[in-house]
Structures are given as structure tokens and as C-alpha cells.
Copies of this chain bind each other. A is one copy, B any other.
């Protein structure tokens, strides 16, 4: 399986959970401390930590430690990359050679 799709789909997998989509929405209004996010949800602290880890690992969210607090915010680069990936796989490509190629080489994708 092509790295291009594995890495690109990671953000979508993270956003595939409605709670994480909601967290991203909250962060779009500005940086938030983990404890502030936790206040809004009926989930345990360990569960939230797990979700935040996934959001960070996929590159959409970045964290910053200040004393004993951890602040989370959206990554402009992560957002841009996600939009780019979505456009890449949904926009019509000229001279498409999907039908002649293996999946690993599909649609002029560079791995």
C-alpha cells in the first residue's frame, strides 16, 4: 500500500470520530488547555488524553507545555496538508492512467 494514502488518510481517520471533530472545532477558536477541553465532555481524563494524542500524531494539532498544563492548538500546516490531500484524491487529473496501473502507482502519486 502506497505511503501517500496511508499517511494522507491518517488525518481523516482522526477526524472520523465525532468527538475529535468537535475538539478540532473548539480549537479553531484558539488555543485551549486540556483541562478546558475536558470540562466540555463527559469523558475521563485518560480518554481525552488518548484523543489528543491521536490528533497530534496525525499532524492536525500541536501541543505546548507550560508548567503542568498542556495547551493544544490547530496546526496551520496540518490543515493545509489535509486540504491538499483531499483535493489531490478528489479532483480530476489529466492523463489519468489509473486503469493501466497498479494501485501503488495510481494517479501520478509520488511516494
- Chain A residues in the interface with B (C-beta under 8 A): 1-2, 5-6, 8-10, 12-22, 24-26, 28-30, 32, 36, 40-41, 74, 79, 82-83, 86, 88-93, 96, 98-99, 102-103, 106-107, 109
Contacts and interface: CB of A to CB of B under 8 A. Distances in A.
A16 B26 CA distance: 21
A97 to B, nearest CB: 8
B89 A29 contact: no
Given A86-B82, A109-B25, A41 B103 contact: yes
A10 B13 CA distance: 10
The oligomer's copy count stands at 2
Nearest to A7: B18
